[in-house]
Structure 1
Amino acid sequence: MKVNGREIEFKENTTIIDLLDEYGLKKDRVVVEINLNIIEESQYDNYILNKEDVIELISFVGGG
């Protein structure tokens, strides 16, 4: 599995929310793209990742 251009170890039955937790990202501050498709936030808890997936995690940073 590739995340943001880097190969990472694939773990069976990993959901998007599991991946976000592993990276310390909050689901309301990130956009998840899998295989060039943006995934709806409502699917993060149930979407099971595959070994072949190419994932982009785009996080929002606030500033002033």
Structure 2
Amino acid sequence: MNKLNISTIRQLTKQEIELEIVKIKKILFNLRLQKSTNQLSKPHLFKYNKRILAQLYTIKNIKNY
């Protein structure tokens, strides 16, 4: 998993932000699937990925103005 922070997110284009959003959503889906089958070994990834997703949406909205 690549480490995205707010400064690197700000440098992304709109298309790259959209791709990152899709990737994070797939990761969250897989984590939920692992949680439901009791195979989740790293529960902290929920919080991390939700935070990154929120940052991506925030920067996406800022760039739309």
Q: Normalising TM by the smaller chain, what interval? A: under 0.3
Compare the two structures and name the one with the higher strand fraction: 1
Report the TM-score, using the length of structure 2 for normalisation: 0.26
Length-normalised TM-score, structure 1: 0.27
Specify which structure has the higher proportion of helix: 2
